[in-house]
Amino acid sequence: MKDVVRDLLDVIRLEQLETNLFRGQSRDTGQKSIFGGLVAGQALMAASRTVDAERPVHSLHAYFIRPGDFSIPIVYDVERVRDGKSFTTRRVTAIQHGRPIFTLEASFQVEEGGVEHQADMPAVPAPETLPSDQSLREQFAHRIPERMREAFLAERPVEFRPIKPANGFEAEPQDPTRETWFRIAEPLEVDTATHRALLAFCSDFGLLGTAMLPHGMNFFQPHVQSASIDHAMWFHRPFRVDEWLLYSTQSPSASGARGMNFGYIYRQDGVLVASVAQEGLMRLRPQEPRS
């Protein structure tokens, strides 16, 4: 197994401190604060550790409250809100420096049968026919500030293959839609709870950037301030994160310095496995005049 994949599994699996108290390690990914998907994945894992395996998570709703500090661990305090006949509810608070940085509520359900329908998967090229995100990043490495270049080029545990690769350094407006194949490119011998926590981790990649597309904005522009505000997920059907999944995202609105994004995650056979919603901060700061 690749070191980067082993490390991701290490950080998504938490240390149990007490019955409802867990501790997770963080990682410096070259950003100013902890990657939001990591906190969401760890918080979901903490909640899942207090629920019977026969009740997988079916939804979560979360808020990012403060930037996370990647120099110290994160403590996850789980509140057992309700254990019903069919549904279980958990509330999780992520804590650093004695203050909450993130909150999550998750609902778990006994697996049941019922009527089914789903939206069709977009018609896109197969992932095997597309270049990897790693090769695309190497093309633009010279455009990255030197202090960020090593982190930008570092091998990642998740492999991405965008349908329409975008030059993140060009401020050309585009339609607010995006499709990307992704997977953890190593076979994983993990349980359903871990697969779902890892999908929560992956679901934060690129989502907020969809709302930036029509405005020619990107994360590398010094006058752009961006951050995830909230995050919601619904898990519909079984999947594995070590097999190709298509992330289809769209942004219906941006206003009030916030961008709204929706995402739909499909298996390669066209089955819809999860839906995602997120609002993020998209603030434009005054640009300094060029000398």
**What is the amino acid identity at position 237?**
R
Q: Are the C-beta atoms of residues 236 and 275 closer than 8 Å to each other?
A: yes
Q: Closest Cα to residue 36, out of 193, 205, 162? A: 205
Which helix (H) or strand (E) covers residue 58, if one does? Answer: strand 57-64
278 is catalytic: yes
Which residue in 228, 248, 251, 275 is the catalytic one? 228
Give residues with Cβ within 8 angstroms of 268, minimum separation 6.
126, 127, 243, 244, 245, 246
Q: Closest Cα to residue 95, out of 163, 146, 22, 152? A: 22
Parallel, antiparallel, or unpaired: how do β-strands 177-184 and 87-96 relate?
unpaired
Provide the terminal-to-terminal Cα distance of the chain, rounded to the nearest Å.
51
DSSP 16-31: EEETTEEEE-----SS
Which residue in 26, 77, 96, 204 is the catalytic one? 204
Q: How far apart, in whole angstroms, are the C-alpha atoms of residue 222 and residue 146? A: 15
Q: How far apart, in whole angstroms, are the C-alpha atoms of residue 114 and residue 280? A: 34
48 is catalytic: no
User: Exposed, middle or buried: residue 131 (CB in 10 Å: 0-12, 13-18, 19+)?
Assistant: exposed
Token duo for residue 95: 């804590």
Catalytic residues: 204, 228, 278
